[in-house]
């Protein structure tokens, strides 16, 4: 796909500023449209929006500037007319830190997913989805009610052009859904869900209603565990929160020392069942794209391979290994943002053919934890963590009693080495990037009241 001529014209104009001093120049442009639908006690609501914006990064070995504004790229600068050649002031002064821009790297061929062409949800279809979730929830748990629901469905296009020869153009899709429910009594507990998918039609009302109902029922009827150990089956939501807390092990050069401190005497970070990876072009992923926010090719990167630590995710400018120069992991949520290193689809690799039910049957005595009820605390230096959870006590593979008001505690190293089995139900949540995990069977941890 060819780039718009406005990007080339803007790049050329910046290259002539101040006698041509800038060696590194990047023009970034993004257009998008979105539809937001909400359902609340006040009734349904719908809003529609379109957006276009662009940004320029430019610098030399001494300084740089960043300029961003709405509309399409303009050779005259972000704030008015004139300024080209250093005389008008439309372009900002170069008073920032020096920057480096990547060189173009040829990566594997990428075929744009077919659902990128699917139309955005219309008002009737979107509100029908929210209403089905509400009615299904009431049927699954009498007395439960949907306090509010909001669905945002959007599509966009991104173009990047640089003085180093980077020329990329690709489309993106993303749908986000937020639900909040209460019950089964008027003064009962509340539960919330925030999810993201590439295409809004992937949201399933029955599965979402059952998840809300389970959380409400367990929180309402569950009792805390004073103190106990046992085999644990951790649902994807709980595993995702644990991976999120362990982010410093997997991103940036400082992660190497953090991981080193947690290795066992054999030098291993985790069990054979533990494989952690990030993949910017994960097939079907909500953020699947051929390149990152700087136009660097994306691909799968294994960070932990069956318990062996391979290294953290690093952007091209932090990597010392030539073969890692092509790893695109700079995220850029908006044209207003500078790129920064981050995960795209960080996940624990699922095990095909392994169902959740088969892992549950392996528990003679233990717990099935279905959700996290708040933020956790993670101290890598002290090798400790704590996460509020709810779920069920399990005996002989069957749920025996609901559990709430408890915290999952233990050492981080025990958790990593205690992963004994992994299911196939890989689920992603929108956190700092998309973070995902299947259900996992874990030993060596403890439940406590609180």
Residues 253 and 164 in one domain: no
Residues 276 and 407 in one domain: yes
Residues 259 and 355 in one domain: yes
Q: Please tell me the predicted confidence (pLDDT) of residue 259.
A: 95
- Its domain, for residue 96, covers 1-221
Q: Please tell me the predicted confidence (pLDDT) of residue 1.
A: 59
Final residue in a domain of this structure, among 182, 201, 221: 221
Final residue in a domain of this structure, among 179, 194, 221: 221
Q: Please tell me the predicted confidence (pLDDT) of residue 326.
A: 59
| Residue 296 to residues 2, 96, 236, 339, Cα–Cα distance (Å) | 17, 23, 30, 11
Task: Name 157's bridge partners.
Answer: 31, 171
Final residue in a domain of this structure, among 221, 245, 277: 221
User: CA 444, CA 270: separation in Å to the nearest integer?
Assistant: 13
Is there a contact between 34 and 46 (Cβ–Cβ < 8 Å)? Answer: no
Is there a contact between 83 and 77 (Cβ–Cβ < 8 Å)? Answer: yes
User: CA 70, CA 214: separation in Å to the nearest integer?
Assistant: 45
Which residues have CB under 8 Å from 391's CB, separation 6+? 218, 222, 235, 367, 368, 369, 370, 371, 402, 403
Residues 401 and 260 in one domain: yes
Residues 140 and 235 in one domain: no
Residues 119 and 237 in one domain: no
User: Which is nearest to 168 in space by CA: 296, 264, 75?
Assistant: 296
Residues 50 and 68 in one domain: yes
* Sign of CA pseudo-dihedral 309, 312, 317, 323: positive
Q: Please tell me the predicted confidence (pLDDT) of residue 85.
A: 38
Residues 199 and 246 in one domain: no
For 275, the token pair is 């494989």
SS3 234: strand
Residues 198 and 231 in one domain: no
Q: Please tell me the predicted confidence (pLDDT) of residue 106.
A: 82
Spell out a b/e string for 134-159, using b for 16 or more CB atoms within 10 Å of the CB, else e. Answer: bebbbebbeebbbbbbbbbbbbbbbb
Residues 273 and 402 in one domain: yes
Q: Packing angle between helix 123-140 and helix 205-221, nearest 10 degrees? A: 40
Residues 131 and 253 in one domain: no
Q: Please tell me the predicted confidence (pLDDT) of residue 80.
A: 59
Is the bond leading into 235 cis (omega within 30 degrees of zero)? Answer: no
Angle at 436 between CA 357 and CA 273, to 5 degrees: 60
For 299, the token pair is 């691909």
User: CA 195, CA 208: separation in Å to the nearest integer?
Assistant: 10
Please give the tally of structural domains in the chain.
Answer: 2
Helices (H) and strands (E) in the chain — how many of each?
7, 23
Q: Please tell me the predicted confidence (pLDDT) of residue 90.
A: 84
SS (H, E, C) 326-362: CCCCEECCCCCCCCEECCCEEEECCCCCCCHHHHHHC
CATH of the domain at 56: 3.30.2290.10
E-assigned strand segments in 165-262: 167-182, 190-197, 227-229, 231-234
Cα atoms found within 13 Å of the Cα of residue 249, Cβ hemisphere only: 29
Segments in the chain below pLDDT 50: 81-88, 324
Residues 408 and 431 in one domain: yes
The model's pTM is 0.93
């Amino acid at each position: 796909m060819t780039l718009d001529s406005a990007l080339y014209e803007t790049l050329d104009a910046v290259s002539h500023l101040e006698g041509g001093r800038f060696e590194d120049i990047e023009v970034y442009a993004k257009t998008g449209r979105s539809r937001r639908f909400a359902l609340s006690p006040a009734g349904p609501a719908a809003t529609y929006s379109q957006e276009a914006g662009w940004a320029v990064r430019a610098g030399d070995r001494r300084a740089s500037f960043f300029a961003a504004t709405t509309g399409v790229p303009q050779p005259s600068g972000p704030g008015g007319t004139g300024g080209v050649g250093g005389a008008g002031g439309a372009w900002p002064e170069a008073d920032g830190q020096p920057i480096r821009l990547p060189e173009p790297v040829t990566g594997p061929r990428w075929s744009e997913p077919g659902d990128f062409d699917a139309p955005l949800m219309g008002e009737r279809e979107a509100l029908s989805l929210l209403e089905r979730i509400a009615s299904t929830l009431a049927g699954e748990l009498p007395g439960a009610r949907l306090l509010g629901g909001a669905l945002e469905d959007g599509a966009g296009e991104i173009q990047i052009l640089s003085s180093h020869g980077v020329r990329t153009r690709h489309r993106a899709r993303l749908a986000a859904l937020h639900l909040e429910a209460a019950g089964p009594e008027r003064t009962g507990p509340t539960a919330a869900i925030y999810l993201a998918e590439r295409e809004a039609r992937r949201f399933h009302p029955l599965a979402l209603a059952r998840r809300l109902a389970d959380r409400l029922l367990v929180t309402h009827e569950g009792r805390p565990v004073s103190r106990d150990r046992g085999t644990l089956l951790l649902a994807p939501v709980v595993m995702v929160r644990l991976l999120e807390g362990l982010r410093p092990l997997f991103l940036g050069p400082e992660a190497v020392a953090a991981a080193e401190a947690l290795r066992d005497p054999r030098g291993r970070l985790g069990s054979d069942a533990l494989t952690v990876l990030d993949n910017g072009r994960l097939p079907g992923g909500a953020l699947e794209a051929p390149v990152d926010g700087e136009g660097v090719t994306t691909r799968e990167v294994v960070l932990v391979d069956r318990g062996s630590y391979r290294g953290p995710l690093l952007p091209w400018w932090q990597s010392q290994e030539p073969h890692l120069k092509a790893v695109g992991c700079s995220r850029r949520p908006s044209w207003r943002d500078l790129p920064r290193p981050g995960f795209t689809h960080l996940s624990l690799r699922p095990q095909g053919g392994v169902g959740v039910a088969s892992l549950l049957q392996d528990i003679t005595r233990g717990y099935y934890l279905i959700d996290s009820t708040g933020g956790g605390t993670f101290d890598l230096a002290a090798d400790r963590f704590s996460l509020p959870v709810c779920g069920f006590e399990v005996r002989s593979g069957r749920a025996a009693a609901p559990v709430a008001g408890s915290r999952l505690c233990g050492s981080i190293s025990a958790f990593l080495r205690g992963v004994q089995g992994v299911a196939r139900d890989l689920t992603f949540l929108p956190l700092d990037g998309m973070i995902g995990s299947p259900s996992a069977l874990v030993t060596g941890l403890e439940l406590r009241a609180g």
